[in-house]
């Protein structure tokens, strides 16, 4: 595993890996773990947006819809150009979820030295994430976020993914950047599959 991680780090440089998936598919969990393994910085669009909503007293995403593209550009994209991130690779959690945003994300990331080298999709069915949602209500392990407690809001998030984010992933697939990972496994196995497929991509770049 260490040798594979080392090769991935060499291939990635200061580039980016963008992780996507349905709500509750484990994007942040796997993203944080991958960032730690690679010595990367972790950026989550959800965390950034919620922090900015609190700071500005706005609630674009509280009902489950994606925030407007112009607000996304204003709030999230400047992170790529932060001086304290210049020397680090980045692991991203769903940066650019609305079809049409991906080209701007790639352009800004590349211009800041964080070229997107791979896009990971944690593939899990809507039925399985709804089961995770129901389990979370029993365990009460998702904090006080309304979008993780209200089923109507949660279903809106699923619809937004189908209608707006799936075309983003198709675009990345066309570009040869998409890596499909089985997200319906125990966390350790999901992480191991991510590493194996990133390693294969790193090896392919040497060919």
User: For residues 129 and 24, is the Cβ–Cβ distance under 8 A?
Assistant: yes
Q: Which residues contact 196 (CB under 8 A, 6 or more apart)?
A: 4
pLDDT given for residue 61 in this prediction: 85
Structure tokens at 176: 């040869």
- Domains by residue range for the chain, with CATH: 2-206 (3.40.50.300)
Q: How do the pLDDT tens digits run along the chain, 207 residues long?
A: 899 999 999 999 999 999 999 999 999 999 999 999 999 999 999 999 999 999 999 988 888 999 999 999 999 999 999 999 999 999 999 999 999 999 999 999 999 999 999 999 999 998 898 888 888 777 655 555 545 568 889 999 999 999 999 999 999 999 999 999 999 999 999 999 999 999 999 998 876
pLDDT given for residue 148 in this prediction: 57
Using the CB atoms, write b or e for 11-27: b if 16+ within 10 Å.
bbebbbbbbbbbbbbbb
pLDDT given for residue 207 in this prediction: 65
pLDDT given for residue 11 in this prediction: 97
pTM to 2 decimals? 0.92
Q: What is the CA radius of gyration of the chain?
A: 17
User: For residues 60 and 68, is the Cβ–Cβ distance under 8 A?
Assistant: yes
Helix or strand holding residue 156 (H, E): helix 151-160
Helix or strand holding residue 182 (H, E): strand 178-182
User: What's the rounded Cα separation, in Å, for the pair 196 and 5?
Assistant: 9
Rounded to a whole number of angstroms, the distance between the first and last alpha carbons of the chain is 21
């Amino acid at each position: 595993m260490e040798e594979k991680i080392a090769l991935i780090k060499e291939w990635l440089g200061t580039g980016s890996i963008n992780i996507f998936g349905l709500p509750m598919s484990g994007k942040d969990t796997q993203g944080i773990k991958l960032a730690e393994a690679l010595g990367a910085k972790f950026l989550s669009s959800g965390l950034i947006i919620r922090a900015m909503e609190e700071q500005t007293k706005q609630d674009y995403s509280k009902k489950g819809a994606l925030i407007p593209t112009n607000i996304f550009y204003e709030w999230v994209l400047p992170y790529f150009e932060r001086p304290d991130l210049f020397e680090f690779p980045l692991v991203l959690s769903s940066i650019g979820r609305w079809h049409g945003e991906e080209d701007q994300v790639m352009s800004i990331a590349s211009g800041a030295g964080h070229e997107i080298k791979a896009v990971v999709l944690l593939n899990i069915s809507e039925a399985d994430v709804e089961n995770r949602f129901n389990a979370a209500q029993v365990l009460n392990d998702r904090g006080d976020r309304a979008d993780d407690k209200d089923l109507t809001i949660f279903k809106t998030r699923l619809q937004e993914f189908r209608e707006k984010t799936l075309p983003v992933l198709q675009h990345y697939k066309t570009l040869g950047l998409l890596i499909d990972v089985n997200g319906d496994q125990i966390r350790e196995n999901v992480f191991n599959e991510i590493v194996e497929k990133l390693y294969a991509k790193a090896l392919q770049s040497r060919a």
